Structure 1
Amino acid sequence: MLKLPPRLRLDNAPEEWARLEGALRAELAQVGNAAGRGITLDASGLNDFDSAALSLLLSALRLCGQDGWQLTLQQAPRELRELARVYALEHLFWPDVAAPAEMA
């Protein structure tokens, strides 16, 4: 299981993305032939973040989705879930949440 860093803000997001992207690519290659095409990302240690965390998570989601992999985010702080909700992105990371209704 891959882990998010404790701090994920605009000033350190590029280097954290470089680290996470490398780890995701290695994980995808390592388990590429395994059953259940899913990657789990542990967010339990994340305690200092801003909206850059969502950008990084969207990039991770896109990377995994390119080849049909599913990214699961576990143990996310309540504040991260709330931030995702504010940006109407919560359903992308937690499939049990309904997608927002289409605007008419």
Structure 2
Amino acid sequence: MLTLPAVLTHAVAPGFVRSLTPGLFADPGEVVADAAALQQFDSSALAVLLECRRRALAAGKRFSVHGAPARLRELAELYGVAELIPSAATA
């Protein structure tokens, strides 16, 4: 499981993406991003999730998000990417 930090804004998103190792996407099956800790975020959190999705799909894995705050889901709807970051329960 990939755990997102409590703060995921434009200022910290590039560093978080750089910290993603290929090993995170090597486990069999599905890559699940745990967003339950997110407290302060902006649209950069969506960009991070989409990058994680891209890497998971490139590795032949499914991708989903667990514990996404309602505001993050609202942003995903607003930007038209909600179906690209499905909830783990519905993936």
Same fold (TM over 0.5): yes
1:47 to 2:35 alignment: no
| Runs of 4+ off more than 2 Å | none
Deviation at 1:67, TM superposition (A): 2.5
SS of residue in 2 equivalent to 1:54 = helix
Amino acid at match of 1:9: T
Equivalent residue of 1:94, what SS? coil
The TM-score with structure 1 as length reference comes to 0.78
1:37-78 deviations in whole A, cap 9, x for unaligned? 211111000010001111111111101111221111000000
1:102 is matched with which residue?
A: none
Unaligned 5+ segments in structure 1 are 97-104
Q: 1:10 matched to which residue of 2?
A: 10
Output the aligned Cα RMSD.
Answer: 1.4
CA distance in 1, matches of 2:4, 2:76: 16
The number of equivalent residue pairs is 88
- 2:24 match: 27
Can you give the 5+ residue segments of structure 2 that lack an aligned partner in the other structure? none
Secondary structure of 1:17 counterpart: helix
Match of 1:60 among 52, 57, 80: 52
Overall identity of the aligned pairs, in %: 33
Look up the match of 1:86.
78
Q: Provide the rounded CA distance (Å) in 2 between the counterparts of 1:9 and 1:72.
A: 20
Alpha-carbon separation, structure 1, partners of 2:11 and 2:25: 27
Distance 1:58 1:2 in 2: 13
